[in-house]
């Protein structure tokens, strides 16, 4: 059966249009700038095919918004009403979302056109919108508007051109992403390679920095605190500071100008500016002091942190459910002379308040906050009243695979044997009457034991209770 579209195509016109499209494609060949490619295409469509105007939108990294990057012809700005189009909004957003092209030679009569009078007044008749998609991914949308009816030959060429444009744009966008990654990595590596004094000097470019003593290698938490302090000092227009290394500690001393304060006390202002730095410093066993000059024209800031004894101490992982608990035990670990590490290692004791993590760990230590009975499988536990010395003992025992903080007599089973039998059958999916039949008791007795279980475990539903029982390892 002959193709009705093919019968309508003028071969001479098609060859000429293909040549025009090929010239546009040659213009952006080898280009790795997405916006430059888009601009070249829209200009070519206007110049070679006499379009009223042409536009290209590219999909933003969030995959939710299309950004107008090129516009040629009647409109050349890229910051107007249609500069950003949400995915699925308007005709352009729908083309991108559904990946379906749309063609019309009677634009003013289309129901989706928001401003029909605009199309009539500007004699805009034709519209062609194509999704720029590759391997199921949308890169963007190309749209052309024409004063005349768009010929079938032009639409064929436009479809082919869109394919070439999509491939070029996808390669350029990938190159751009890789380039940004390289630059970011290079900057990060270059910055991290510097000594602490060099890093502080680069942050406080306008301040005079003096290094006192011989620089020592520091742990990442210490470096982070000093760099965070330098960032704050830079905002406060610090003009002078000293980085001081001693046998026991490292300190940063700085002088910053005091602002004109009409309504706020200088001490309160200093505390608000330094914010969480006080607490972070305390977690590392250090101090942060501020002193206001008698004439209140300058403020002296002194950050001092001792070298952690953790360099020779045992290693420890800490994974708590709340940031507050994490910081509190991190501080306690520093006071105990332990080395807190982030890398997961089965041989390194894990301190956590999460029973699942604790039971799964080879050397887990459970933080018992509610004075609960010790669940099965737990070999070491501490509570919130633990001292640095006790924590050090617990870590030492766990490192050797020994129990700590658990008296065998205190390992209680909250539920009776019968209650555990019922929960085990419930875990198999049995109903109350089936459980009663298997245990040869009445259904009301099953419900009685179930209610006791809910009360003991403070659970609202039997499935919450079942979850606790399984997490505690009371049933298989």
Supply the CATH number for residue 205's domain. 3.30.565.10
Residues 33 and 151 in one domain: yes
* Residue 28 within any structural domain of the chain: yes
**Cβ proximity of 231 and 303 under 8 Å:** no
- Three-state SS string over 114-139 comes to CCHHHHHHCCCCEEEEEEEEECCEEE
Average pLDDT over every residue of 265-287: 76
Tokens 């890398």 identify what position?
Answer: 343
Q: What is the pLDDT of residue 186?
A: 46
If we measure between CA atoms, which residue out of 280, 348, 363, 278 comes closest to residue 313? Answer: 348
Average pLDDT over every residue of 419-436: 89
H or E, element range at 27:
helix 11-28
Residues 252 and 210 in one domain: yes
Q: How far apart, in whole angstroms, are the C-alpha atoms of residue 470 and residue 356?
A: 10
Residues 151 and 25 in one domain: yes
Per-residue confidence at 262, pLDDT binned at 50, 70, 90?
low
Residue 148: phi and psi, rounded to 5, are: -120, 165
Q: How many CB atoms are closer than 10 A to CB 21?
A: 24
Q: Where are the alpha helices (DSSP H) in 257-322?
A: 266-274, 277-283
pTM of the model as a whole: 0.42
Residues 257 and 391 in one domain: no
Supply the CATH number for residue 454's domain. 1.10.10.10
233 forms beta bridges with none
* Residue 315 within any structural domain of the chain: yes
SS3 of residue 316 by DSSP: strand
pLDDT tens track for 93-130: 999 999 988 999 999 888 888 788 998 999 999 999 99
Q: What is the pLDDT of residue 190?
A: 47
Residues 33 and 110 in one domain: yes
253 forms beta bridges with 242, 302
Q: What is the pLDDT of residue 70?
A: 95
pLDDT tens track for 68-86: 999 999 999 998 888 999 9
The whole domain housing 243 covers 197-306
Q: How far apart, in whole angstroms, are the C-alpha atoms of residue 24 and residue 180?
A: 28
Residues 9 and 146 in one domain: yes
* Residue 212 within any structural domain of the chain: yes
**Cβ proximity of 197 and 228 under 8 Å:** no
Q: What is the pLDDT of residue 313?
A: 67
SS3 of residue 370 by DSSP: coil
Does residue 337 have a pLDDT over 80?
Answer: no
Q: How far apart, in whole angstroms, are the C-alpha atoms of residue 322 and residue 329?
A: 11
Q: How far apart, in whole angstroms, are the C-alpha atoms of residue 46 and residue 56?
A: 13
Average pLDDT over every residue of 288-313: 76
* Residue 348 within any structural domain of the chain: yes
Q: What is the pLDDT of residue 171?
A: 85
If we measure between CA atoms, which residue out of 75, 30, 27 comes closest to residue 55? Answer: 75
Tokens 């000429």 identify what position?
Answer: 16
Residues 220 and 258 in one domain: yes
At 159, list the tokens: 């479809």
At 152, list the tokens: 């079938």
Per-residue confidence at 277, pLDDT binned at 50, 70, 90?
confident
Per-residue confidence at 209, pLDDT binned at 50, 70, 90?
confident
Average pLDDT over every residue of 38-65: 93
Does residue 472 have a pLDDT over 90?
Answer: no
At 308, list the tokens: 């952690």
DSSP state for residue 60 in the 8-state scheme: -
Domain boundary among 178, 205, 238: 178
* Residue 190 within any structural domain of the chain: no
Q: How far apart, in whole angstroms, are the C-alpha atoms of residue 470 and residue 376?
A: 10
Domain boundary among 306, 328, 353: 306
**What is the C-alpha end-to-end distance of the chain, expressed in Å?**
69
Supply the CATH number for residue 370's domain. 3.40.50.2300
Per-residue confidence at 408, pLDDT binned at 50, 70, 90?
very low
Spell out the long-range contacts of 440-443 with Cβ–Cβ below 8 A and sequence spacing 24 or more: none
**Average pLDDT along the chain:** 82
Strand spans (E) along 213-320: 240-245, 249-257, 287-292, 298-306, 315-319
Average pLDDT over every residue of 185-203: 68
* Residue 391 within any structural domain of the chain: yes
Per-residue confidence at 470, pLDDT binned at 50, 70, 90?
confident
Tokens 């590392």 identify what position?
Answer: 284
Least trusted range by pLDDT, from 25-29, 349-353, 372-376 = 372-376
Q: How far apart, in whole angstroms, are the C-alpha atoms of residue 397 and residue 391?
A: 10
Residues 172 and 241 in one domain: no
**Number of domains into which the chain is organized:** 4
Residue 288: phi and psi, rounded to 5, are: -130, 110
Supply the CATH number for residue 121's domain. 3.30.450.40
SS3 of residue 76 by DSSP: coil
Domain boundary among 392, 410, 428: 410
Residues 277 and 329 in one domain: no
Residues 319 and 302 in one domain: no
Share of the chain above pLDDT 90, in %: 22
Residues 161 and 61 in one domain: yes
Does residue 144 have a pLDDT over 90?
Answer: yes
* Residue 188 within any structural domain of the chain: no
* Residue 228 within any structural domain of the chain: yes
Q: How far apart, in whole angstroms, are the C-alpha atoms of residue 208 and residue 72?
A: 52
**Cβ proximity of 390 and 397 under 8 Å:** no
Q: What is the pLDDT of residue 58?
A: 95
Residues 300 and 316 in one domain: no
């Amino acid at each position: 059966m002959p193709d009705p579209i093919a019968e309508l195509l003028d071969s001479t016109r098609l060859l000429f249009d293909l040549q025009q499209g090929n010239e546009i494609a040659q213009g952006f060949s080898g280009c790795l700038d997405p916006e430059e490619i888009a601009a070249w295409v829209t200009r070519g469509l206007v110049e070679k095919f006499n379009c009223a105007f042409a536009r290209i939108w590219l999909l933003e990294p969030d995959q939710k918004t299309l950004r107008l990057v090129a516009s040629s012809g009647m409109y050349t700005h890229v910051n107007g009403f249609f500069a950003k189009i949400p995915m699925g909004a308007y005709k352009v957003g729908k083309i991108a979302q559904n990946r379906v092209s749309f063609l019309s030679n009677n634009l003013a009569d289309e129901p989706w056109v928001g401003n029909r009078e605009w199309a009539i007044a500007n004699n805009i008749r034709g519209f062609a919108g194509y999704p720029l998609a590759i391997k199921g991914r949308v890169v963007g949308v190309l749209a052309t508007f024409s004063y005349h009816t768009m010929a079938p030959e032009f639409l064929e060429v436009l479809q082919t051109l869109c394919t070439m444009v999509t491939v070029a744009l996808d390669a350029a966008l990938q190159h751009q992403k890789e380039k940004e990654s390289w630059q970011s990595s290079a900057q990060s590596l270059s910055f991290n390679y510097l000594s602490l004094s060099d890093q502080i000097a680069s942050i406080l470019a306008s301040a005079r920095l003096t290094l006192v003593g011989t620089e020592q290698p520091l742990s990442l938490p210490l470096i982070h605190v000093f760099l965070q302090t330098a960032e704050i000092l830079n905002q406060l227009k610090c003009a002078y500071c000293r980085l001081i290394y001693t046998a026991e500690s490292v300190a940063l001393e700085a002088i910053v100008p005091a602002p004109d304060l009409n309504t706020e006390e200088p001490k309160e202002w200093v505390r608000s500016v330094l914010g969480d730095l006080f607490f972070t410093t305390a977690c590392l066993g250090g101090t942060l002091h501020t002193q206001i000059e008698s004439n209140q024209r300058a403020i002296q800031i002194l950050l001092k942190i001792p070298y952690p004894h953790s360099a020779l101490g045992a290693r420890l992982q800490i994974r708590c459910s709340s940031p507050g608990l994490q910081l509190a035990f991190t501080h306690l670990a520093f006071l105990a002379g332990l080395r807190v590490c982030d890398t997961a290692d089965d041989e390194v004791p894990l301190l956590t308040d999460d029973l699942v993590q604790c039971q799964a760990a080879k050397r887990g230590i459970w933080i018992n906050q509610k004075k609960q009975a010790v669940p099965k499988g737990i070999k070491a536990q501490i509570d919130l009243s633990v001292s640095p010395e006790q924590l050090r003992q617990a870590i030492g025992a766990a490192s050797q695979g020994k129990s700590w903080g658990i008296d065998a007599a205190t390992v209680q089973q909250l539920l009776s044997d019968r209650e555990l039998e019922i929960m085990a059958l419930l875990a198999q999916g049995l109903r109350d009457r089936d459980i009663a039949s298997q245990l040869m008791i009445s259904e009301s007795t099953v419900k009685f034991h179930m209610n006791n279980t809910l009360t003991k475990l403070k659970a609202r539903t039997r499935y919450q209770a079942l979850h606790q029982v399984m997490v505690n390892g009371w049933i298989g």
